[in-house]
Structure 1
Amino acid sequence: MKKYVLKATALAIGALVGGSAVADTNLDTGTVTGGTYAKELNYNSISPSTGTAITATPTVTSKLGFGVSAGQNRYIRVNLVGAKFHGGLTAADLVNTSRAFNNTVLAAGGQAGDSYAIFQVTADTTNGNQASDVVTFKPLLGYDVTSGNANVQVQFRLFETATAAVANTDSTWLYAASGDLLQFATGLQFSVTGALNSTADVAQSFTKFKTVAGSGKISDTLAKLGQVTSSAVTGVLNATGAQVTYAQLVGAGTTTPTGTKVVLKGDFSAAATNGVFLATDAACSTLVSNVAAAAAPTATGADIVTGANPLTGAYVCYATTGTTPIVASSYTAAVAYANATNSTTTNPSAQNLGSIDRDGTELLAPFATINSDYTARVFLTSSHTAPAKVTVKAWFADGSSCAAQALPDLKPGTQQEYLIKDICPTITGTAGSNTTRLSLRFTIAAPKNTVVGSYNQYNNRIDGAAAGAYGSKTTDMNGYVLVAPAAN
């Protein structure tokens, strides 16, 4: 006796018909046609679970698989793997669409909460039924999914006797086929597109954006970083077989941290009031409806609460004060979901959004001193073709700082000396005091890679030498090369 086992393997997502696209399983061709169900939802209503059973039931199609003589009885067993019947079946749930059975009886199982059903079928009393006859199974009350939303399988088995059908032993069936009954996929999609770079203008002390072709600049104080999409996946279904909606998956909370939010990482320390927001247009002129700007952007990021509002290509916009220096930074975007009722979501990974850099050159002197026993200076050398403005800001070891100030322009093609004691002349310090140690950031209005610098110091008072002299020990002179900030 030859036996056949067919497996369903492929998935084709079809068009929605009348607002739904119920997946149908054809065990003869091994395909499932229609939609998949959102894996985030709970489809198990069996207590203590509080989910919603899938009531848009698919039709399972299989050939009878073995001919039956006129008036003879056979037994068709339908098994579910990963699901249970949501309500009781009737004999009408199993139909021979090629040549009707003379009689069909639900012989065993098939009650609410069962995972199997046995139908006794009596062959057509005139011609019997052929192996190629098409049998369909469609329980109208649906399924409770117990698999944790792993794909649910259906097994179709034809037996000669009731005893064999109850025993459900592999060696006794006349024909068997199986395949996926219900398939699941994520109902949420998140993407970032159109990542853009903008440039903070050194000539404006980095307080404004510079016009650069192809950048995200909109105005001197406004730039867009890229676009984000967070929405439901087309073709993925809910329990009724209709297109799942974003609000069915995502919580509608409106306050951080309970609301669904776009999570932005990067430096927003120059943001104006309500300066980080989502817009519907590339000019950042129209805010996304029902979505407020980030409440408190910081130097590490900003959160924009969106609630149950889907986003389609929303622009991430960054408005600055026009007075606070814009920090060079790269940015990422992600979404932190709040769950809707009976939904369990998984937050997507962050994706690269956009970036801001600074034109000009920045160089750091991590250590310098204004101790009166030393002469300390910085040398800058420019290969640029024009004079470059130089500004410097100092931070001292005791936590104090010196306001940024202009230094003499750096002349093209020259090496130029800047004495440390002239940078913060109002802070003199004393030997051994923390206020004699400082770090410096030089900002030079010249293209990157055209300026190099070094720090140098030497002791003024060696072996009785006069102040300002090198003295007799050149080993007391030391220095290092200035470094560029990591983000520059």
Structure 2
Amino acid sequence: MSLNKKALATAVAGALLAGNAYAANISTGGAPAYFAREIIATPAAPVTLNTDSTAGVDATELSWNVGYNFSDGEVRYARVECSGNFRFGTGLTVVSNDPGSVNFGSINGIGTNVLTFSVTSLGGANNVVAADTFTITGDHQITGTSSDVVCNVALYDQPSQAQAGGTTGRIPNSLSAGPYLAFRDSYNFTSTPFTATADVSTDYLDFLASGDTTAATAELASWVYDLVDPDAAGPQTAPYDIDGSAITLADLMATGATGTRIVVSGDFSYATSAFLSSGGNCATPIAGMTATITGGNTATFNVGATALPAGTSFCVTRNGTTAIPVTDYTAQLIAVSAAPTTYAVTNRGPHASGSIVRNGTELQAPLVQLPSGYLSRIMLTNTGSVARNYRIRVIGETGNVISTNAANMSGTIPANGSRFFETNTFITGFSAGTRATVIITVDAPTNQIQGLYQIVNPANGSISNHVMVRPGTN
């Protein structure tokens, strides 16, 4: 064999197949070609994928190393078998990296998942050798994307043996097997949740400023909605579309009010807006990414085919008049296909997308009464080593106007001490029934503060004591 001739032939073939950079060589463990799992293909309606690199797009062809050194004029028979969800397309050819060394016979099995053909070494100074690479060019069909396409190839002594497959007549060292086409999800939606704190010192009207959260706006989560790199570190940054080009969100996702959206569930009763921001904080709102808030408990972002890359923040702005509640948020991508007969898209999530906690203590006396002849009292205790400020808020039934004395609606509970007061010192009148709800917030950890509401009938000495409740615990 002439080494120089072999090297020249290899170089010529390499130039011929320059578009085949992503070919899956199943003999060497090369990466398969990743196509979009969302492609709709069935046995009744197969889809033809562009797997021909000569088309000038990023696609793939099936390659393998021969694994056997031929003698002059020797003839063997190749069998190429792939998974049942695959069919070899019409118009395919088999080529070698050394085209001057081989002649391929007629190809049998086009339209099925098994090909057979003869391989004749032309001999003389240039035989087929084990290191030679054969490649099948052309486009092929798939009948489903639920499992990857795995192929195996081998050489046999007789054509009947190649047709049958198995071990009988198989040439030693000529068997290669591996993944050829792989199907992966093209997109994903993820959320990294954060915790914001409603500040007790403002009666929970503001957030506690920390990191990227300000008094007015809380950063509740970091989102990513984007295409997925199917091989993490390989040549592809997204799965291939049917035509062999990289798929896009615009290919997959419907836009507009009825298109793909992210729906956030949680308590938005205190919010003026929910929006998305770039830069990993809430300082740079993204145009068109302000949510529609409905029912006080749902915020909807119409994202469509707009990617949200790393560094996208989910933010909420408070209204300054409604107490910020303790709440958790979840977010779900509701996927709507841009081409329902071509691509099947599915939802992602719901994912945790932030929480709001409170940094102090809230105590409630749900029913405070001031009937004539009775004493109505509240006792607060502080077991901590620091004096704590408290504030009182009074709410009542619709139509009942409650008069209060603002001067007596705040104060201090001493360290390791108690504070006792009559309710008529801050509730001074009613327009209807003599009853109300009293809410007390204390700038202290909740495990240091306790409260008791008491009503006494001094005429007969009867006493009714009620431990003040903590929201969410009763």
**TM > 0.5 between the two?**
yes
More deviation, 74-83/131-140? 131-140
Q: Hey, what's the Cα distance between the residues in 1 that align with 2:470 and 2:189?
A: 36
Q: Hey, what's the Cα distance between the residues in 1 that align with 2:445 and 2:166?
A: 80
Check the 8 A contact 1:394/1:439 in 2, yes or no: yes
Q: Provide structure 2 residue ranges, at least 5 long, that are not aligned to the other structure.
A: 1-17, 53-58, 230-236
**In the TM superposition, what whole-angstrom CA distance separates every residue of 1:25-46 from its partner, at most 9, and x where no partner exists?**
22333x123652222233x387
Compared CA separation, residues 401 and 447, structure 1 to 2 (3 A): farther
Check the 8 A contact 2:107/2:116 in 1, yes or no: yes
Match of 1:469? 459
1:454 corresponds, among 443, 452, 455, to 452
Alignment of 1:97-246 (within 5 A): 97-98=97-98, 100-110=100-110, 113-126=111-124, 129=127, 132-140=130-138, 142-174=139-171, 175-193=174-192, 195-211=193-209, 213-214=210-211, 216-217=213-214, 220-234=215-229, 235-239=237-241, 240-246=243-249
State the secondary structure of the residue aligned to 2:285: coil
Match of 2:55? none
More deviation, 222-231/351-360? 351-360
Match of 1:247? 250
Q: Hey, what's the Cα distance between the residues in 2 that align with 1:329 and 1:246?
A: 32
Compared CA separation, residues 316 and 372, structure 1 to 2 (3 A): same
Q: Hey, what's the Cα distance between the residues in 2 that align with 1:203 and 1:104?
A: 84
Q: Hey, what's the Cα distance between the residues in 2 that align with 1:310 and 1:487?
A: 41
Task: Give the aligned residue type for 1:426.
Answer: F
Residue 151 of structure 1 deviates from its aligned partner by: 0.9
Q: Hey, what's the Cα distance between the residues in 1 that align with 2:20 and 2:123?
A: 37
Check the 8 A contact 1:385/1:412 in 2, yes or no: no
State the secondary structure of the residue aligned to 2:108: strand
Check the 8 A contact 2:224/2:312 in 1, yes or no: yes
Match of 1:294? 291
State the secondary structure of the residue aligned to 2:30: strand
Check the 8 A contact 2:51/2:60 in 1, yes or no: no
Q: Hey, what's the Cα distance between the residues in 2 that align with 1:47 and 1:134?
A: 38
Q: Hey, what's the Cα distance between the residues in 2 that align with 1:21 and 1:159?
A: 27
State the secondary structure of the residue aligned to 2:163: helix
Task: Give the aligned residue type for 1:443.
Answer: T
Same amino acid, percent of matched pairs: 25
Task: Give the aligned residue type for 1:365.
Answer: A
Compared CA separation, residues 487 and 98, structure 1 to 2 (3 A): farther
**In the TM superposition, what whole-angstrom CA distance separates every residue of 1:397-416 from its partner, at most 9, and x where no partner exists?**
xx877769655434432433
1:60 is the counterpart of 2:75: no
Residue 178 of structure 1 deviates from its aligned partner by: 1.5
Task: Give the aligned residue type for 1:228.
Answer: W
State the secondary structure of the residue aligned to 2:73: coil
Check the 8 A contact 2:32/2:180 in 1, yes or no: no
Q: Hey, what's the Cα distance between the residues in 2 that align with 1:97 and 1:388?
A: 84
Residue 453 of structure 1 deviates from its aligned partner by: 0.7
State the secondary structure of the residue aligned to 1:166: helix
Q: Hey, what's the Cα distance between the residues in 2 that align with 1:128 and 1:283?
A: 66
Q: TM-score, normalised by structure 2?
A: 0.78
Residue 98 of structure 1 deviates from its aligned partner by: 4.7
Compared CA separation, residues 409 and 67, structure 1 to 2 (3 A): closer
Match of 1:9? none
Q: Hey, what's the Cα distance between the residues in 1 that align with 2:208 and 2:132?
A: 71
Check the 8 A contact 1:75/1:161 in 2, yes or no: yes
Residue 293 of structure 1 deviates from its aligned partner by: 1.5
Check the 8 A contact 2:78/2:156 in 1, yes or no: yes
2:301 corresponds, among 300, 304, 322, to 304
Residue 423 of structure 1 deviates from its aligned partner by: 4.1
Check the 8 A contact 1:101/1:121 in 2, yes or no: no
State the secondary structure of the residue aligned to 1:37: strand
**In the TM superposition, what whole-angstrom CA distance separates every residue of 1:92-121 from its partner, at most 9, and x where no partner exists?**
x223435745421224212xx322221122
State the secondary structure of the residue aligned to 2:299: strand
**In the TM superposition, what whole-angstrom CA distance separates every residue of 1:407-434 from its partner, at most 9, and x where no partner exists?**
54344324334455774841664xxxxx
Check the 8 A contact 1:224/1:282 in 2, yes or no: no
Match of 2:465? 479
More deviation, 329-338/417-426? 417-426
**In the TM superposition, what whole-angstrom CA distance separates every residue of 1:156-212 from its partner, at most 9, and x where no partner exists?**
12122222222234433224222111112222133334x54443344433323344x
Match of 1:41? 39
Task: Give the aligned residue type for 1:451.
Answer: I
Task: Give the aligned residue type for 1:230.
Answer: Y
Check the 8 A contact 2:66/2:130 in 1, yes or no: yes
Residue 22 of structure 1 deviates from its aligned partner by: 6.3
Q: Hey, what's the Cα distance between the residues in 1 that align with 2:33 and 2:320?
A: 51
Check the 8 A contact 1:74/1:158 in 2, yes or no: yes
Check the 8 A contact 2:275/2:285 in 1, yes or no: yes
Q: Hey, what's the Cα distance between the residues in 2 that align with 1:247 and 1:404?
A: 60
- Give the length in aligned residue pairs: 432
1:415 is the counterpart of 2:418: yes
1:326 is the counterpart of 2:312: no
Compared CA separation, residues 52 and 484, structure 1 to 2 (3 A): farther
1:361 is the counterpart of 2:361: yes
Check the 8 A contact 2:198/2:204 in 1, yes or no: yes
More deviation, 383-392/160-169? 383-392
Q: Hey, what's the Cα distance between the residues in 1 that align with 2:48 and 2:263?
A: 31
Q: Hey, what's the Cα distance between the residues in 1 that align with 2:463 and 2:380?
A: 18
Match of 1:338? 336
**In the TM superposition, what whole-angstrom CA distance separates every residue of 1:100-155 from its partner, at most 9, and x where no partner exists?**
45421224212xx3222211222224368456142312222x22222424110112
Match of 2:430? 426
**In the TM superposition, what whole-angstrom CA distance separates every residue of 1:216-242 from its partner, at most 9, and x where no partner exists?**
11xx43333232121112422223333
Compared CA separation, residues 149 and 424, structure 1 to 2 (3 A): farther
Check the 8 A contact 2:262/2:303 in 1, yes or no: yes
Q: Hey, what's the Cα distance between the residues in 2 that align with 1:403 and 1:330?
A: 33
Q: Provide the aligned C-alpha RMSD in A.
A: 3.5
Task: Give the aligned residue type for 1:225.
Answer: L
Compared CA separation, residues 415 and 149, structure 1 to 2 (3 A): same
Q: Provide structure 1 residue ranges, at least 5 long, that are not aligned to the other structure.
A: 1-17, 430-434, 461-467
More deviation, 96-105/75-84? 96-105
**In the TM superposition, what whole-angstrom CA distance separates every residue of 1:233-275 from its partner, at most 9, and x where no partner exists?**
24222233333222223x23211xx322222232211122xx1
State the secondary structure of the residue aligned to 2:290: coil
